């Protein structure tokens, strides 16, 4: 049975002639990315000792150099943020210790060390002492997370073991003031650098814990080199921090600086400023909550007061309208309104009836038999007079014909018809009645004869 060739192994002539397995074909980028993941996941951060060569500083602030020894060399890069925190001036030929992790720059397929911090090689002995003491104290359980206590959420009195003239204490106080912290801060002065610094800080820490005054103690200082921060790595101070009955926050140096006090304390803050923010964070949150609650309570109180005031006014109005006097006054107003309405209605109705009566009187007057008869007589007299004038002014030959016409008109008049025995009937309004269907039993009618009129009743 043939053994499969590895990915990086030598291929046989037959394997070269055969088509490749698609699952084993990688692009250059894919292979480089896998190598990068393999390096970064399998090789942890470490201290690397070597000599600086090919050192150059880019305009971006990044530092590029090579660490070399008698056997090999390693490309290195220190990015601008780390370079700004570096207090050591790098130069050609400098022997140093570099802390960092391996990475691959994929565009060039080159691996390099990403340097986070550097120390002169002479500091290596301190680092070795640091690691030995850390291992020993850790074996004793001094750094056990189970023994660490919770930091008070709202400490009323905070002690700060530090140098009273350092920049760290000024930044610490400035942040507390800016965030409106209302607690009490006590600066516990002590040396933070030098041969006696660790013993002095340990003594001050023990004295502060015996006062039974503090809810929280902060110990720390600003950044510096490993030598500057070494007092916080000395065993007496580390044990004093671990044994302090009051919760302790260690705030030493910059974010990348670690001391043994950080491991022994109940909480580590990256910087003194971060410790101030940590102490005041709960106060700021509670202050914001109380402010919002006070505003909400004020708004609720105002709304409640407005509602109760409105209810009180409504009750007062209802009470005032429920008295007998109010009912009497309202009844009086109602009576006045009704009286005015009745008077207006009577005046309006009377006026309308007067207008209607006047219209009826006018219509009756124009339709009465006497009026109509008078009009007819006037018209007849006017016609007779007109014909008489025509007869008088007409020649004789035509006069006879007109005379005959006048005679015929006179014979056709109402008086001649009545004289022949006819009767003209009309209703009480003077309207003529010419048919039997116009009469109703019991209706009163007027009968006009040739010698006068008489009232009749239809049967």
Lowest pLDDT segment from 10-19, 220-229, 249-258, 446-455 = 10-19
> pTM of the predicted model, to two decimals?
0.44
Q: Is 41 helix (H, G, I), strand (E, B) or coil?
A: helix
Which residues 6+ apart lie within 8 Å of 216 measured at CB? 151, 152, 155, 157, 158, 159, 246, 247, 248, 249, 279
The mean pLDDT value of the chain amounts to 82
- What CA–CA distance (Å, rounded) separates 459 from 431? 19
User: Is residue 10 predicted with pLDDT exceeding 50?
Assistant: no
Write down the pLDDT at residue 383. 78
CB 421 within 8 A of CB 412: no
**CA 431 to CA 35: how far, in whole Å?**
131
Q: What is the pLDDT of residue 36?
A: 83
pLDDT at 9: 46
Q: 262 Cβ partners below 8 Å, 6+ apart?
A: 232, 250, 252, 268
pLDDT at 239 over 50: yes
Domains 26-127 and 155-285 share a fold: no
Least confident of 11-15, 43-47, 238-242: 11-15
For 26-127, CATH gives 2.40.50.140
CA distance linking residue 190 with residue 202, whole number of Å: 9
Q: Report whether pLDDT(392) > 70.
A: no
Q: How confident is the model at residue 236 (pLDDT cuts 50, 70, 90)?
A: very high
CA–CA dist 20, 26 (Å, integer): 11
Binned at pLDDT 50, 70 and 90, residue 397 comes out as very low
SS3 221: strand
pLDDT in tens, 199-222: 999 999 999 999 989 999 999 998
C-alpha distances out from residue 427 to 298, 358, 440, Å? 93, 21, 11
User: For 15-24, 26-35, 114-123, 385-394, which range has the lowest pLDDT when averaged over its residues?
Assistant: 15-24
Distance of CA 319 to the CA centre of its chain: 44
- The alpha-carbon radius of gyration of the chain (Å, integer) is 64
For the residues of 223-274, what is the DSSP string, one character each?
Answer: ---TTTTGGGGSHHHHHHHHH-SS-EEEEESSTT---HHHHHSSEE-SSHHH
- Whole-number pLDDT of residue 379: 80
Query: What is the per-residue pLDDT across 361-390, written as a single tens digit (0 to 9) for each?
Result: 777 777 777 777 777 777 877 777 777 776
Q: What is the pLDDT of residue 5?
A: 42
Q: Which of 198-212, 348-362, 422-436 has the lowest mean pLDDT?
A: 422-436
- The residues that bridge with 68 in the sheet, in sequence order, are 51, 73
- Tell me the backbone φ, ψ of residue 163, rounded to 5 degrees: -80, 125
CA distance 47 to 115: 9
In the chain, what is the straight-line distance between the N-terminal and C-terminal CA atoms, in Å?
A: 149
Position 225 scores a pLDDT of 72
Q: Where are the alpha helices (DSSP H) in 116-196?
A: 124-139, 167-178
DSSP 3-state assignment of 280?
Answer: helix
Give how far the C-alpha of residue 429 lies from the chain's centroid of Cα atoms, to the nearest Å: 87
| Domain extent listing, the chain | 26-127, 155-285, 368-457
Distance (Å, rounded) from C-alpha 33 to C-alpha 109?
Answer: 9
pLDDT at 399 over 70: no
Class for domain 155-285, per CATH? alpha beta
């Amino acid at each position: 049975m043939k053994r499969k060739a590895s990915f990086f192994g030598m291929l046989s002539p037959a394997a070269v002639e055969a088509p490749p397995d698609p699952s084993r074909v990688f692009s250059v980028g894919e292979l480089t990315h896998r190598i990068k993941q393999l390096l970064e996941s399998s090789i942890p951060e470490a201290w690397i000792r070597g000599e600086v060569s090919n050192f150059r500083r880019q305009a971006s602030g990044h530092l590029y150099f090579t660490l070399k020894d008698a056997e090999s060399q390693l490309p290195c890069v220190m990015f601008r943020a780390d370079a700004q925190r570096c207090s050591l001036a790098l130069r050609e030929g400098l022997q140093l210790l570099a802390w960092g992790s391996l990475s691959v720059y994929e565009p060039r397929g080159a691996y390099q060390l990403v340097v986070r911090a550097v120390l002169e090689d002479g500091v290596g002995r301190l680092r070795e002492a640091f690691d030995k003491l850390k291992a020993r104290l850790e074996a004793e359980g001094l750094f056990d997370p189970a023994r660490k206590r919770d930091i008070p959420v709202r400490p009323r009195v905070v002690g700060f073991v530090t140098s009273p003239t350092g920049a760290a204490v000024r930044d610490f106080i400035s942040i507390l003031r800016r965030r409106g912290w209302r607690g009490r801060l006590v600066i516990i002065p002590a040396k933070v650098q030098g041969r006696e610094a660790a013993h002095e800080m340990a003594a001050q820490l023990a004295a502060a814990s015996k006062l039974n005054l503090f809810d929280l103690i902060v110990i720390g200082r600003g950044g510096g080199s490993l030598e500057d921060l070494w007092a916080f790595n000395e065993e007496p101070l580390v044990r004093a921090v671990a044994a302090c009955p009051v919760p302790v926050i260690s705030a030493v140096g910059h974010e990348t600086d670690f001391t043994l006090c950080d491991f022994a304390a109940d909480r580590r803050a990256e910087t003194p400023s971060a410790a101030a923010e940590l102490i005041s964070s709960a106060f700021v949150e509670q202050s914001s909550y109380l402010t919002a609650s006070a505003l909400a309570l004020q708004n609720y109180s105002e709304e409640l007061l407005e509602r109760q005031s409105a209810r009180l006014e409504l009750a007062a109005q209802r009470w005032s309208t429920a008295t007998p006097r109010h009912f009497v006054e309202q009844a009086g107003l109602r009576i006045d309104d009704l009286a005015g309405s009745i008077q207006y209605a009577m005046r309006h109705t009377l006026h309308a009836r007067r207008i209607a009566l006047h219209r009826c009187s006018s219509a009756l007057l124009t339709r009465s038999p006497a009026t109509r008869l008078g009009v007819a007589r006037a018209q007849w007299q006017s016609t007779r007079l007109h014909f008489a004038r025509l007869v008088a002014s007409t020649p004789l030959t035509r006069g006879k014909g007109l005379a005959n016409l006048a005679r015929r008109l006179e014979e056709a008049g109402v008086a001649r018809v009545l004289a022949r025995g006819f009767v003209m009937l009309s209703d009480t309004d003077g309207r003529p009645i010419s048919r039997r269907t116009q009469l109703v039993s019991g209706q009163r009618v007027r009968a006009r004869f040739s010698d006068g009129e008489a009232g009749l009743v239809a049967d």
